[in-house]
Amino acid sequence: MKCNRSLELFLWALSILCLARSSDGYSPPDNYLIDCGSSTNTTVGNRVFLADSLASKFVSTPQNVLASASNSVSSSDVSQLYQTARVFTGSTKYTFPISQSGRHWIRLYFSPFDYQSYNMSTAIFAVSAQNFGLLSNFSASGSVMKEFSLNVTSSNLVVTITPSDKSFAFLNAIEVVSMPDTLIQDGYILPAWKFQGLPSQALETIWRLNMGGPKVSAMNDTLWRNWDPDYGFLVHPNMANNIPKIGAVNVSGGATEEAAPALVYGTATEMNARDYATRNVNVTWEFDIDVGSRHLIRFHFCDIVSTSLNQLYFSVYLDSSTVYSDLDLSTISSNALAVPCFFDIVSGLSVSNKLCVSVGPYTANGAYPDAILNGLEIMKLHNSDGSSSSGKIVSVIVGTTIGALIAALLAGVLFLWCRRRRRRLAKQGLSKTWIPLSTNGGTSHTMGSKYSNGATLSVASNLGYRFPFVAVQEATNNFDESWVVGTGGFGKVYRGELNDGTRVAVKRGNPRSQQGLAEFQTEIEMLSQFRHRHLVSLIGYCDEKSEMILIYEYMENGTLKSHLYGSSVPSLSWKQRLEICIGSARGLHYLHTGYTKVIIHRDVKSANILLDENLMAKVADFGLSKTGPGIDQTHVNTAVKGSFGYLDPEYFRRQRLTEKSDVYSFGVVLLEVLCARPVIDRSLPREKVNLEEWAMKWQKKGQLDQIIDPTLVGKIRPDSLRKFGETAEKCLANFGVDRPSMGDVLWNLEYALQLQEAVVQGDLKKTVLT
Residue 79 or 119 with smaller CB distance to ligand NAG? 119
Binding to ligand NAG, residues 409-438 (CB under 6 A): 420
**Contact with ligand NAG (CB under 6 A) among 348, 360, 468, 642:** 360
**What is the nearest approach in angstroms of ligand NAG to the Cβ of residue 246?**
8
**What is the nearest approach in angstroms of ligand NAG to the Cβ of residue 133?**
12
Does the protein bind ligand NAG through residue 241 (CB under 6 A)? no
Does the protein bind ligand NAG through residue 219 (CB under 6 A)? yes
Does the protein bind ligand NAG through residue 222 (CB under 6 A)? no
According to DSSP H, which parts of 357-404 are helical?
392-400
Of 345, 233, 244, the C-alpha closest to 283 is 233
Size of the site for ligand NAG (CB under 6 A): 37
| 207 secondary structure, DSSP code | E
The single-letter code of the amino acid at 750 is E
Does the protein bind ligand NAG through residue 181 (CB under 6 A)? yes
Of 665, 684, 530, the C-alpha closest to 607 is 665
* 603 in active site: yes
**Contact with ligand NAG (CB under 6 A) among 60, 220, 384, 387:** 220
List the catalytic residue out of 221, 603, 621, 662.
603
Does the protein bind ligand NAG through residue 153 (CB under 6 A)? yes
Stretch of residues binding ligand NAG (CB under 6 A), selected from 116-124, 127-135, 670-678, 695-703: 116-124
Does the protein bind ligand NAG through residue 167 (CB under 6 A)? no
- The answer to whether residues 564 and 676 touch, using CB atoms and an 8 Å cutoff, is yes
Residue 233 or 574 with smaller CB distance to ligand NAG? 233
Does the protein bind ligand NAG through residue 117 (CB under 6 A)? no
**Segments of 581-734 assigned E as strands:** 599-600, 609-611, 617-619, 626-627, 636-637, 656-657
Does the protein bind ligand NAG through residue 616 (CB under 6 A)? no
**What is the nearest approach in angstroms of ligand NAG to the Cβ of residue 122?**
5
**What is the nearest approach in angstroms of ligand NAG to the Cβ of residue 95?**
19
Residue 119 or 400 with smaller CB distance to ligand NAG? 119
**What is the nearest approach in angstroms of ligand NAG to the Cβ of residue 290?**
13
Does the protein bind ligand NAG through residue 43 (CB under 6 A)? no
The single-letter code of the amino acid at 214 is P
Does the protein bind ligand NAG through residue 252 (CB under 6 A)? yes
**What is the nearest approach in angstroms of ligand NAG to the Cβ of residue 540?**
22
Stretch of residues binding ligand NAG (CB under 6 A), selected from 245-253, 468-476, 576-584, 739-747: 245-253
Neighbour-count burial of 464, counting CB atoms closer than 10 A to its CB (0-12 exposed, 13-18 middle, 19+ buried): middle
**Contact with ligand NAG (CB under 6 A) among 31, 146, 199, 684:** 199
Of 34, 38, 40, 82, the C-alpha closest to 55 is 34
Residue 106 or 538 with smaller CB distance to ligand NAG? 106
**What is the nearest approach in angstroms of ligand NAG to the Cβ of residue 556?**
21
**What is the nearest approach in angstroms of ligand NAG to the Cβ of residue 279?**
9
- The answer to whether residues 38 and 84 touch, using CB atoms and an 8 Å cutoff, is yes
Cα–Cα distance for residue pair 486/353, rounded to 1 Å: 38
Does the protein bind ligand NAG through residue 200 (CB under 6 A)? yes
Does the protein bind ligand NAG through residue 28 (CB under 6 A)? no
Cα–Cα distance for residue pair 379/247, rounded to 1 Å: 29
**What is the nearest approach in angstroms of ligand NAG to the Cβ of residue 434?**
19
Neighbour-count burial of 306, counting CB atoms closer than 10 A to its CB (0-12 exposed, 13-18 middle, 19+ buried): middle
Q: What b-and-e string marks burial along 245-275, b requiring 16 or more CB atoms within 10 Å of the CB?
A: beebbbbebbbbbbbbbbbbbbbbbbbbbee
Pattern of binders to ligand NAG over 281-320, x per CB under 6 A? xx----------------------------------x--x
What is the four-CA torsion angle of 509, 514, 517, 521, rounded to 10 degrees?
-160
Of 411, 151, 190, 196, the C-alpha closest to 297 is 411
How far from each other are the two terminal CA atoms of the chain, in whole angstroms?
78
CB atoms within 10 A of CB 634: 10
Does the protein bind ligand NAG through residue 41 (CB under 6 A)? yes
Does the protein bind ligand NAG through residue 764 (CB under 6 A)? no
CB atoms within 10 A of CB 235: 15
> The dihedral of CA 722, 728, 734, 735: what is its sign?
positive
Q: Partners of 86 in the beta sheet?
A: 66, 171
Residue 385 or 763 with smaller CB distance to ligand NAG? 385
Of 742, 754, 731, the C-alpha closest to 583 is 742
CB atoms within 10 A of CB 36: 27
Does the protein bind ligand NAG through residue 36 (CB under 6 A)? no
Of 391, 369, 243, the C-alpha closest to 304 is 243
**Contact with ligand NAG (CB under 6 A) among 43, 53, 100, 119:** 119
**Segments of 488-616 assigned E as strands:** 491-497, 503-509, 531-532, 538-542, 549-553, 599-600, 609-611
Does the protein bind ligand NAG through residue 280 (CB under 6 A)? yes
Of 253, 269, 421, 395, the C-alpha closest to 338 is 253
**C-alpha to C-alpha distances, 261 to 178, 227, 305, nearest whole angstrom:** 18, 10, 18
**Contact with ligand NAG (CB under 6 A) among 11, 171, 263, 327:** 263
Stretch of residues binding ligand NAG (CB under 6 A), selected from 301-309, 358-366, 562-570, 751-759: 358-366
Total residue length of the chain: 770
Q: Partners of 288 in the beta sheet?
A: 354
Does the protein bind ligand NAG through residue 532 (CB under 6 A)? no
Does the protein bind ligand NAG through residue 254 (CB under 6 A)? yes
**What is the nearest approach in angstroms of ligand NAG to the Cβ of residue 673?**
36
Residue 250 or 627 with smaller CB distance to ligand NAG? 250
On the CB side of 133, how many CA atoms lie within 13 Å of its CA? 14
**Contact with ligand NAG (CB under 6 A) among 23, 72, 137, 761:** 137
Stretch of residues binding ligand NAG (CB under 6 A), selected from 285-293, 354-362, 397-405, 444-452: 354-362
Residue 303 or 543 with smaller CB distance to ligand NAG? 303
**What is the nearest approach in angstroms of ligand NAG to the Cβ of residue 55?**
10
Does the protein bind ligand NAG through residue 689 (CB under 6 A)? no
Q: Tell me the residue number closest to ligand NAG, measured at CB.
A: 253
| 29 secondary structure, DSSP code | S
Stretch of residues binding ligand NAG (CB under 6 A), selected from 223-231, 246-254, 517-525, 727-735: 246-254
**What is the nearest approach in angstroms of ligand NAG to the Cβ of residue 120?**
8
User: 161 by DSSP, 3-state: which?
Assistant: strand
Q: Is 597 annotated as a binding residue?
A: no
Backbone angles phi, psi at 766, to 5 degrees: -60, -45
User: 527 by DSSP, 3-state: which?
Assistant: helix
Stretch of residues binding ligand NAG (CB under 6 A), selected from 46-54, 77-85, 403-411, 480-488: 46-54
**Contact with ligand NAG (CB under 6 A) among 76, 79, 99, 121:** 121
> The dihedral of CA 512, 517, 523, 525: what is its sign?
positive
Active site (catalytic) residues: 603
Residue stretches of the annotated binding site: 507
* Site for ligand NAG, rule CB under 6 A: 40-41, 48, 50, 54, 102-103, 114, 119, 121-122, 137, 151, 153, 181, 199-200, 219-220, 250, 252-254, 263, 280-282, 317, 320, 333-334, 336, 339, 358, 360-361, 420
Residue stretches of the annotated binding site for ATP: 507
